[in-house]
């Protein structure tokens, strides 16, 4: 895939995220027409997505629940993925949903099929109000996003403040498709004061099969742990979606980890973040980005609200994994140290090292 | 540690690595005087380093061989580390050694204590001549470097073409100190055609205790695997030394992986590479670099031969691991999924996910 304007489109406008804070101009007053130079052929979609999940804590894939009777063999080889960047207002649920609806409708009209939304965009990111904003699933956010996914024939990925039947509150990844709710995961690696309002999930990372390949989901800070994304990719992820609310003070971390996770795994990373600052709340990083499987930026936003999209292909992913065979070498050698299952243990190697000690 | 010129020095000159190849100007015709703005207090060195290594293939640290009777409690908190970048000529062993000797002497005179040299700098990087260039340990390269380390009171890290007593050839990390040979490891993840001339080692990564903290060593392509560096850091590495011969065509990969390994582990990465191109051989990336534990570049070379150094402190490392607690969160939660040893398993979490499948 060439990394030029030919395979990406950009929506939105400038005007938020001024350095000195203050209330942001949260919603577009006008929208520039989407530029699109290459139309994606409409995918051969065969139905709604499928959830793969693990029942056992040990880590192996032990179950694959087919939710909607999909034939997952028929995966499209080329599709458009998009990230939406919002300046969500705390507590302004309807306004936050409406703004995302506009972006998703525009993206879908342009051909996007998988759309990643920021973490906690619906409630706004205010840890002090999480307890009142937390909702169940099905709940108002999952229902609204499910209707939007059905209307636009897209798969939507985000993270919400979720309260389970026992009243426990998680920061939960949510995936909805045209057929409704697909999957729910729970953030395990909580950032800073999130630890005091959310309960950590039992596993980091969520894996979802879709007609557009297998989507792995990690939430914000979790993407900084190479282990989590590696695990998802080794279990089959083609795309890593990262709903985020990353702090602007660590923008260099955001830029580094999104590229590195893509490079070291030969996988597309689509990372959507909050942007701007409300009152004296945290200033968010913006810079939502889609990174190709060679670790190169395909398209990156600044600190404006809006969205960008890119066409991704299975061919580019396979080429990247051939060009730098991290995954193949790991699989071939069975990991970073020899073990009993290694085909050809190099016993002499250890002897050499022992000989000089 | 401020990231300004105050804590780094640079040796060498420009003039190699021109874009269109051709024979490189391999050695400095003149040397600019080393600029140094902050002198490092001479470390309270208590003796030669100690080798930690593993006898069992399972992965746990099972043995700690004290080579030189060192008290490893007395580790200095501040020291200078350096990387040397060479344009080594294939087969010109004496010339290659002499050039490195000049750099090491200059660096040591400026206060550097740990100095990383490129992979295969002594033999030159020519896979077709590896079989004739491979040597034993002790051998001419380890002996020459041992004498240089003793003369300059430094720890030197590189990788050589090593032939063991059974005639098997490895691409082997070599660490020598003032007391002589310290440790030998063997590259496990071989790049491309290296697979046809070297035998892979039984484990990726070598761990060496020194008066300047614990040094982890990975060789070139191995640094692209987050697993390897994570393992070394979880076993105690404060500094990751990366002797390399990275291809210029993948310069963006080199830049990304060196920063990311430092960031995600809160560790200093000192990566020394070959530079330039000889005849129709591969063009090397140069851009040897020392990265701080927040993933920020402290000092980076261009494609010149020469060397750079930086002062590193234990305090900065501890601060980085507090600021973004990847290691602490992994340790606290016991990994990316719950297991039997997790203090507080969130059983309901899995129930929630099962409930919607």
Instruction: Indicate if the alpha-carbon torsion angle A222, A225, A230, A235 is positive or negative.
Output: negative
Q: Is residue B202 in some structural domain?
A: yes
C-alpha span between B65 and A354 (Å, rounded): 9
Between A53, A164, A183, which is nearest B348 by CB?
A164
How many Cβ atoms sit within 10 Å of the Cβ of residue B192?
12
Contacts of A263 in chain B (CB under 8 A): 224, 253, 256-257
Q: Is the pLDDT of residue B17 over 70?
A: no
Q: Is the pLDDT of residue A33 over 60?
A: no
Q: Which pLDDT value is given to residue A91?
A: 87
C-alpha span between A15 and A299 (Å, rounded): 19
Q: Which pLDDT value is given to residue B96?
A: 97
Q: Is residue B343 in some structural domain?
A: no
For residue A206, the chain B residue with the least C-alpha distance is B353
C-alpha span between A101 and A148 (Å, rounded): 7
Q: What six digits make up the tokens of B191? A: 């790049």
Q: Is residue B46 in some structural domain?
A: yes
Contact between B337 and A137 using a beta-carbon 8 Å cutoff: no
A196 sits in which H/E element: none
To the nearest 10°, report the CA torsion of B263, B265, B271, B276: -50
Between A183, A256, A354, which is nearest B295 by CB?
A256
Distance from CA of A164 to the nearest CA of B (A): 7
Contacts of B227 in chain A (CB under 8 A): 226, 230, 330, 335-336
How many Cβ atoms sit within 10 Å of the Cβ of residue A151?
13
- Higher pLDDT among residues A78 and A342, named by residue: A78
Contact between B225 and A252 using a beta-carbon 8 Å cutoff: no
- Higher pLDDT among residues A347 and B334, named by residue: B334
User: Rounded to 5 degrees, what are φ and ψ at B76?
Assistant: -75, 150
Q: Which pLDDT value is given to residue A223?
A: 98
Query: Could you tell me what percent of chain B has a pLDDT over 70?
Result: 74
- Which residue carries 């990316």 as its tokens? B336
Q: Which pLDDT value is given to residue B91?
A: 87
Reduced to 3 states, what is the DSSP secondary structure of residue B89?
A: coil
The 3 state secondary structure assigned to A285-311 is: ECCCEEECCCCCEEEECCCCCEEEEEE
- Contact indicator for A335, B227 with CB cutoff of 8 Å: yes
Contact between B186 and A352 using a beta-carbon 8 Å cutoff: yes
Distance from CA of B91 to the nearest CA of A (A): 25
Region B13-24: what's the mean pLDDT?
A: 33
Question: Helical H runs in A153-273?
Answer: 226-234, 251-265
Contact between B330 and A225 using a beta-carbon 8 Å cutoff: yes
pLDDT tens-digit series, residues B285-309: 999 999 999 999 999 999 999 999 9
CATH number at residue A235: 3.60.110.10
C-alpha span between A208 and A104 (Å, rounded): 20
Between A181, A183, A350, which is nearest B202 by CB?
A350
C-alpha span between B249 and B228 (Å, rounded): 24
Show the domain range for A225.
5-324
- Contact indicator for A214, A198 with CB cutoff of 8 Å: no
Contact between A256 and B263 using a beta-carbon 8 Å cutoff: yes
Q: Return the DSSP state at A267.
A: -
C-alpha span between A113 and A82 (Å, rounded): 8
User: Rounded to 5 degrees, what are φ and ψ at A305?
Assistant: -80, 160
Characterize the bridge pairing of strands A112-119 and A78-85.
parallel
Q: Which pLDDT value is given to residue B69?
A: 30
Distance from CA of B220 to the nearest CA of A (A): 13
Q: Is residue A353 in some structural domain?
A: no
Region B202-220: what's the mean pLDDT?
A: 93
Q: Could you tell me which residues are beta bridge partners of residue B243?
A: B272
Interface test with B, best of A224, A247, A348 (most B CBs within 10 A): A348
Q: Is residue B98 in some structural domain?
A: yes
For residue A330, the chain B residue with the least C-alpha distance is B189
Q: Return the DSSP state at A274.
A: B
Q: Is residue A349 in some structural domain?
A: no
Q: Which pLDDT value is given to residue A312?
A: 94
C-alpha span between B195 and B199 (Å, rounded): 7
Contacts of B264 in chain A (CB under 8 A): 224-226, 257, 260
pLDDT tens-digit series, residues A282-297: 999 999 999 999 999 9
Q: Is residue B355 in some structural domain?
A: no
Burial of B341 (0-12, 13-18, 19+ CB in 10 A): exposed
Instruction: Indicate if the alpha-carbon torsion angle A2, A263, A76, A185 is positive or negative.
Output: negative
For residue A190, the chain B residue with the least C-alpha distance is B329
Q: Is the pLDDT of residue A350 over 50?
A: no
Between B200, B250, B329, which is nearest A333 by CB?
B200
For residue A354, the chain B residue with the least C-alpha distance is B55
- Going by C-alpha positions, the residue among A264, A316, A274, A344 that lies closest to residue A3 is A316
| Residue A292 CA, distance from chain mean position | 14
Q: What six digits make up the tokens of B184? A: 């030998």
Banded model confidence at residue A357, pLDDT cuts 50, 70, 90: very low
Interface test with B, best of A53, A185, A226 (most B CBs within 10 A): A226
How many structural domains does chain A have? 1
Reduced to 3 states, what is the DSSP secondary structure of residue A186?
A: coil
C-alpha span between A272 and A248 (Å, rounded): 14
Strand order in the sheet with A8-10: A8-10, A306-313, A78-85, A112-119, A155-163, A169-177, A180-184
Residues 6+ apart with CB under 8 A from B51: A356, A357, B65, B67, B182, B183, B208, B209
Q: Which pLDDT value is given to residue A88?
A: 87
User: Rounded to 5 degrees, what are φ and ψ at B344?
Assistant: -135, 80
Banded model confidence at residue A213, pLDDT cuts 50, 70, 90: confident
Contact between B357 and A228 using a beta-carbon 8 Å cutoff: no
Contacts of B319 in chain A (CB under 8 A): none
Contact between A256 and B252 using a beta-carbon 8 Å cutoff: no
Banded model confidence at residue B95, pLDDT cuts 50, 70, 90: very high
Region A93-106: what's the mean pLDDT?
A: 98
Q: Is residue A340 in some structural domain?
A: no
DSSP B303-346: SSSEEEEEEEEHHHHHHHHHHS-HHHHHHHHTSSB--TT-SS--
Banded model confidence at residue B211, pLDDT cuts 50, 70, 90: confident
Q: What six digits make up the tokens of A333? A: 């050698």
Region B275-286: what's the mean pLDDT?
A: 91
């Amino acid at each position: 895939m060439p990394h030029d304007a030919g395979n990406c489109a950009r929506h939105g406008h400038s005007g938020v995220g001024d350095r000195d804070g203050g209330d942001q101009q949260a919603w577009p007053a006008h929208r520039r027409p989407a530029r699109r130079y290459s139309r994606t052929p409409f995918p051969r979609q065969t139905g709604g997505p499928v959830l793969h999940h693990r029942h056992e804590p040990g880590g192996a894939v032990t179950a694959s629940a087919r939710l909607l009777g999909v034939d997952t063999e028929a995966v499209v080889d080329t599709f458009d993925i998009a990230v939406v960047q919002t300046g969500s207002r705390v507590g302004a649920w309807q306004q936050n949903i409406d703004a995302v609806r506009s972006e998703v409708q525009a993206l879908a009209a342009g051909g996007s099929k998988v759309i990643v939304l920021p973490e906690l965009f619906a409630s706004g990111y205010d840890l002090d109000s999480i307890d009142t904003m937390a909702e169940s699933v099905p709940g108002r956010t999952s229902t609204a996003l499910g209707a939007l996914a059905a209307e636009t024939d897209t798969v939507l990925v985000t993270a919400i403040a979720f309260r389970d039947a026992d009243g426990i509150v998680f920061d939960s990844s949510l995936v909805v498709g045209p057929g409704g709710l697909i999957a729910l995961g729970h953030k395990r690696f909580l950032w800073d004061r999130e630890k005091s309002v959310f309960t950590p999930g039992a596993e980091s990372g969520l894996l979802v099969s879709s007609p557009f390949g297998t989507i792995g989901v990690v939430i914000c800070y979790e993407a900084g742990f190479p282990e989590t994304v590696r695990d998802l990719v080794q279990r089959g992820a083609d795309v890593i979606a990262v709903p985020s609310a990353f702090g602007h003070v660590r923008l260099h971390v955001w830029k580094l980890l999104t590229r590195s996770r893509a490079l070291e795994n030969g996988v597309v990373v689509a990372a959507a973040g909050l942007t701007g600052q409300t009152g004296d709340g945290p200033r968010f990083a913006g810079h939502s980005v889609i990174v190709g499987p060679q670790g190169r930026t395909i398209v990156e936003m600044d600190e404006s609200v809006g969205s960008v999209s890119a066409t991704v292909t299975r061919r580019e992913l396979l080429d990247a994994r051939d060009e730098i065979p991290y995954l193949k070498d790991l699989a071939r050698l069975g990991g970073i140290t020899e073990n009993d299952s290694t085909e050809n243990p190099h016993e002499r190697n250890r002897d050499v090292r022992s000989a000089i000690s």
